[in-house]
Amino acid sequence: MKKRPWLFFAIITTLFWGVWGAFIEIPEKAGFPATLGYSVWSLTMIPCALVGLAIIKWKLEYDTRSIIFGSIVGLTGAGGQLMLFQALREGPAYIVFPVISLYPVVTVFLSSYFLKETTTKKHWVGIVLALIALVLLSYVKPQAGTVTGYAWLLLAVSVLFLWGIQGFYMKVANQTMKAESIFFYMMLTGVLLIPVAIFMTDFSKEINWGFKGPYLAAMIQVLNAIGALTLVYALRHGKAIIVVPVTALAPVITIILSLVLYAVIPHPVIIAGLVLAVIAIFLLAE
């Protein structure tokens, strides 16, 4: 781990995002909308950002380049999340999730082409297997229903590119900025988009404002926030073409936890994805 600090931070991100994924539906099923969950998530980023700033003795970088790059990282991540909500409202999840799961392809392509990142043949095999695993792990059983138009598909593809671009710019920004400064701007842009999330919320439906609403959501969403911070650290030390595919495999943890906690038996397609994901992680971590 000392020789490969990127792996340490990538593992933390994967674990925290995996646990987050296993519990995030609890507040939603209890009547707390995902859009308000986004708002809570943005607020949980604040204490993480303050811890980061304390680490660098409050020396936030605020030159023009840092503000632009930090804002791009934040807007592509948070903006993609808001687009995802709308895509799921208009389109079928069984198509939306597999499309979005391919966002590491964008990061890998941009990092290989512009940053000239490369790695061993074994790692490339791991990257390909990870991408295939992501699609399989995103499998959602098709449900009956009528889908009109293709706006949802455009939204899903937009999220794919936004999240892929975020990983690329997170690596680019790490070349000249402190990771803590990058995360601060991620937090700031996320908070600034809260009004958009509130506007997207359907307040005509009853909302759970009790413990299982915003309070439980905060306890769960902070895992996502911490994972985002350690992702920035992972990309400071490691190559984007490896870090992003590894951390994107967080659903492996989610599925395992769901199996243990909820006795949910994965679909054969998801099981195949789990097998490929384990092989990919083994190849990429070497």
The one-letter amino acid at 230? T
Question: Can you give the pTM of this predicted structure?
Answer: 0.94
Helix H or strand E segment including 257: helix 251-262
pLDDT, tens only, 65-105: 999 999 999 999 999 999 999 998 888 888 899 999 999 99
pLDDT, tens only, 178-210: 999 999 999 999 999 999 999 999 999 999 999
- Return the pLDDT at 148: 60
pLDDT, tens only, 54-63: 999 999 999 9
Structural domain that includes position 264? 5-285
Q: How many C-beta atoms lie closer than 10 Å to residue 121's C-beta?
A: 8
> How many structural domains are present in the chain?
1
**What is the average pLDDT across 45-50?**
97
Instruction: Specify whether the CB–CB gap between 8 and 230 falls below 8 A.
Output: no
Distance CA 13, CA 151 (A): 32
**What is the average pLDDT across 23-33?**
94
* Crossing angle of helices 240-247 and 121-137, rounded to 10°: 30
